[in-house]
């Protein structure tokens, strides 16, 4: 009897050993998870430090000829008189210098520029205002600005906004009627704009920029008193669109 029990136990053990390989093949394969690698952010260009360069572009503007004491035409023209509106247009080129500070992607700084312009604008007499035998003339001769800049660096690009104070050198008068009436003066006005700059590996950057010189309420009088009362151009504004190259020290 004991021999039979021992025999049965041995047979049962052998059966277990024979069955195990069959189950082994059906075990689930271990899952190896692949590590997720976060994408690398583009390196931020270092814009900090001083820079200087040059610009070239176009300038356009507008103005309004008026006479002091004539229906307040020089004081906003409330009577809505039909007045000559010379609109100067031409080219502009100049020099720029500035300094940037940087914190992470934030870039901020100060920039100054001075430019020479060649922009002429003439308008003929109207039913309410005479320009003599020729045109009323407003020319833009030069421009300068002192501005703050703030931008956000991304890769090699720097889009930015800018604002500050600007000055326009203008010449106004009635040149066909009398060349001696042409008078040169400077008007000061707020200026603001937008731009984008791209840094090249050589330390040079390229930029595109648009600046708006807000309308000035100053009256730039024609010379030699051609009207009896002070007369000339007011409501002078200008827009500059230009391209530039800067070297970063």
Could you read off the pLDDT tens digit of each residue along the chain, which spans 249 residues? 444 544 454 344 444 444 454 444 445 556 666 655 555 556 789 999 999 999 999 999 999 999 998 989 999 899 999 999 999 999 999 999 999 999 999 999 999 999 999 999 999 999 999 999 999 999 999 999 999 999 999 999 999 999 999 999 999 999 999 999 999 999 999 999 999 999 998 899 999 999 999 999 999 999 999 998 999 999 999 999 999 999 999
What CA–CA distances, in Å, run from 204 to 53, 104, 187, 198, 244? 9, 21, 33, 9, 10
CATH class of 49-248: mainly beta
d(CA 144, CA 213): 10
Parse the chain into domains and list their residue ranges: 49-248
What CA–CA distances, in Å, run from 12 to 18, 24, 85? 10, 19, 113
Q: Which helix (H) or strand (E) holds 127?
A: none
Tokens of residue 77, six digits: 């023209």
Q: Maximum Cα–Cα distance for the chain, whole Å?
A: 146
What is the pTM assigned to this prediction? 0.82
Tokens of residue 246, six digits: 């800067």
């Amino acid at each position: 009897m004991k021999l039979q029990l021992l025999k049965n136990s041995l047979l049962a053990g052998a059966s277990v050993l024979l069955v195990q390989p069959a189950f082994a093949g059906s075990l689930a394969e271990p899952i190896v998870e692949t590590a997720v690698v976060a994408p690398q952010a583009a390196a931020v260009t270092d814009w900090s430090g001083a820079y200087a360069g040059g610009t070239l572009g176009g300038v356009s503007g507008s103005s309004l000829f008026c006479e002091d004491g004539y229906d307040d035409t020089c004081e906003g023209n409330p009577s809505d008189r039909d007045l000559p509106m010379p609109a100067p247009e031409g080219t502009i080129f100049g020099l720029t210098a500035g300094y940037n500070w940087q914190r992470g992607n934030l870039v901020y700084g100060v920039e100054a520029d001075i430019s020479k312009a060649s922009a002429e604008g003439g308008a003929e007499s109207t039913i309410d205002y005479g320009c003599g035998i020729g045109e009323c003339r407003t020319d833009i001769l030069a421009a300068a600005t002192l501005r703050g800049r703030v931008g956000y660096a991304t890769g090699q690009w720097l889009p930015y906004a800018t604002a500050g104070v600007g000055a326009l050198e203008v010449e106004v008068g009635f040149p066909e009627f009398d060349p001696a009436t042409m008078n040169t003066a400077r008007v000061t006005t707020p200026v603001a704009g937008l731009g984008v700059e791209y840094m090249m590996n050589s330390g040079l950057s390229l930029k595109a920029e648009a600046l708006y010189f807000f309308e000035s309420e100053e009256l730039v009088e024609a010379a030699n008193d051609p009207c009896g009362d002070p007369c000339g151009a007011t409501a002078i504004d200008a827009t500059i669109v230009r391209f530039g190259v800067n070297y970063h020290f």
